[in-house]
Structures are given as structure tokens and as C-alpha cells.
Amino acid sequence: IAQSQMASILGLPCICDFSQASEIAKISQFANAINSKTLIKTVSTKRSNNVLKNFKPKNLFASTSINHLLLDVNECDDFNTLAKTYPPLEDKTKDDLLNALKLGIIDTISSYHKHTSKNQKDMPFDIAEYGISNANYFLPLVLSLKEMDLSFISRLISYNPAKIMGFKDEGLIKENF
């Protein structure tokens, strides 16, 4: 669970946002040094966005998950293990993530789907499995982001990932195409 008031209320150990930001800074420097195309999965904190904004080389790409755009740490209330994910859901970072997408700091949105059985989730919070099973709902969830039009969503979920993988002019959904 993210470092938050909710973690304190539930008495759970927390994961500090500094850990993700410092890892992103290291990866950014490494990608720049070896000039290798690199994707950072599931950026989820404001601090990480700031690192990317200031130190993102052209060969470094970043993704965030639909979970982190729509949910927050309050989903974990009452020890709800269905919302236990890694990186953890944060408190009040959704607007920062949306802004980072609009500015091109974050390049893609993923489902970050991780199938976990009910048995793996139906345990005490601290030993329950990480992951949210949501592949079936990914597109409707992305389309629920009122801050983005269909053209922009198309770039984030299909065109940009295709471009990162080296395909030219693939994956863009547009009118009269």
C-alpha cells in the first residue's frame, strides 16, 4: 500500500514513492548511457513524473496503468485485497498522471492486467497476491476518461506502443481510414 493516511489507518506497511522515482532516475541514466530503447512500466507517482519530466532521454518511454488513472489508495479501505497492486495505488496522483499523459511525459496506458485467483486474493492484506484482473474492462475504462478524446486515446493505447516497437504509422485509429 502507498505511503498514506490509509496505510496508517489500516496499520499496514507502506511503499514510499521515493523508491519508484529513484529507480526511474537510475533507469533513465542507464538508457541514456547505452542508447537503448527502454520502457518503464506503470509510472504511478507525482515524484516519478517529475523525474521523467527532467531526465527523460528520447529513447526512454513510460507507461501508466488504467488502475492508477481511475483508482486511488482509498480502494484499499477495509483491507480490500482486490485493490492491492504493485506499484500500489496512490493518494491524489490521478490528475498528475493525466497531465503527464497530455504533456507526453508518459507515452502509453496499459491494462496492467494480472490475473489472480480468488484464493490468492482472499487472504490477509499483507500476504494477499498483488494484481488486478481487468483486461476485460480495459477499453471501457479508458473510454471513461472524459479528459481525453478518442484520437488521443488511440495514440496512447495503440499508436504510441506500435511506434515504440518500431512500427511506422501503425495502430492509429482515425476517421475515414
How many helices and strands, by DSSP H and E, does the chain display?
9, 3
Ramachandran class of 11: left when φ > 0, alpha when ψ lies in -120 to 50, beta otherwise: left
**Model confidence pLDDT, tens digit, residues 117-151:** 889 999 999 899 998 888 888 999 999 998 899 88
Question: At 177, is the pLDDT very low, low, confident or very high (cuts 50, 70, 90)?
Answer: low
C-alpha 115/C-alpha 107 separation (Å) is: 24
Give this prediction's pTM: 0.87
